[in-house]
Amino acid sequence: MRSSTILQTGLVAALPFAVQAASGSGKSTRYWDCCKPSCSWSGKASVNRPVLACDANNNPLSDANVKSGCDGGSAYTCANNSPWAVNDQLAYGFAATKLSGGTESSWCCACYALTFTSGPVAGKTLVVQSTSTGGDLGSNHFDLNMPGGGVGLFDGCTRQFGGLPGAQYGGISSRSQCDSFPAALKPGCQWRFDWFQNADNPEFTFKQVQCPSELTSRTGCKRNDDGNFPVFTPPSGGGSNPSTPTSPPSSGGGSGCTADKYAQCGGSGWSGCTNCPSGSTCKAINDYYHQCV
């Protein structure tokens, strides 16, 4: 499966005054096609800004009109849209989404807490932000972003990286294959076999929640109605990412914990890790996003 690279549309209509949180049971698939997320185009929803897309070297693009790499352009999914574990029971990530009774204007940049009900991840919770949709998605369907999950219908990874290992649908079959991935995608690939335990399209229940800052800081996108939804409460035994400091943000990797390479390390409003691993520095991409490169 994949998210479609839907072209820019006109401004969406205003959302209804009464906003109801979406919930229900859903199904999952997995993909990483490298294409520009559909919610990266302007005018898709009532948001502060579209989802950040990146160039081929994972530098965020300030222009939302750059054509997708899947359509011959130079905009791709940012590597930091990969999933990551908070603890054994909680993880954060991103997904292409299609929900019954909604439209892309109601999904783009919305966040959902998925509690898995089948497979080796049963009982675990993954909180995702919707960054795309796709014509090949079914009802209440979340296509989870994970490097090595297969490109699906469209392949921007050949243009960006010269290709990625694995089958078109389903992707790779072992953790060791992650070693051949670009450095920026390895952590997300390994997550699939570590926290996600190589689960094969597990089912889940879901509910819409306010977006955690850990997600919106990566995409740059927050819905204008986000405050109408319930605050996410971590499951029993869960909690905030223990690596997130409470000290003021830094633009140059000063005090605080160490971010992963290619992860965010600073910017206006950033309260996460500000140090970068050995061999990389915290580079200001724009006022809101600084990245370990």
Q: Is there a contact between 218 and 241 (Cβ–Cβ < 8 Å)?
A: no
Whole-number Å distance between alpha carbons of 65 and 278: 35
Which residue is associated with the tokens 């405050």?
227
Whole-number Å distance between alpha carbons of 250 and 184: 22
β-strands 90-98, 125-132 pairing: parallel
Q: Is there a contact between 253 and 282 (Cβ–Cβ < 8 Å)?
A: yes
User: Does 155 qualify as catalytic in the annotation?
Assistant: no
Q: Is there a contact between 240 and 246 (Cβ–Cβ < 8 Å)?
A: no
Residue 113: which of 149, 84, 142 has the closest Cα?
142
How many other C-beta atoms can be found within 10 angstroms of the C-beta atom of residue 50?
A: 25
Q: Is there a contact between 97 and 141 (Cβ–Cβ < 8 Å)?
A: yes
Query: What is the distance, to the nearest Å, from the Cα of residue 254 to the centroid of all Cα atoms in its chain?
Result: 26
Q: Is there a contact between 202 and 76 (Cβ–Cβ < 8 Å)?
A: no
Which residue is associated with the tokens 């999914």?
77
Q: From residue 271, how far is each of 52, 161, 211 by CA, in Å?
A: 19, 31, 15
Whole-number Å distance between alpha carbons of 201 and 98: 16
Q: Which of 33, 143, 226, 260 is catalytic?
A: 33
Whole-number Å distance between alpha carbons of 211 and 39: 15
Catalytic amino acids? 33
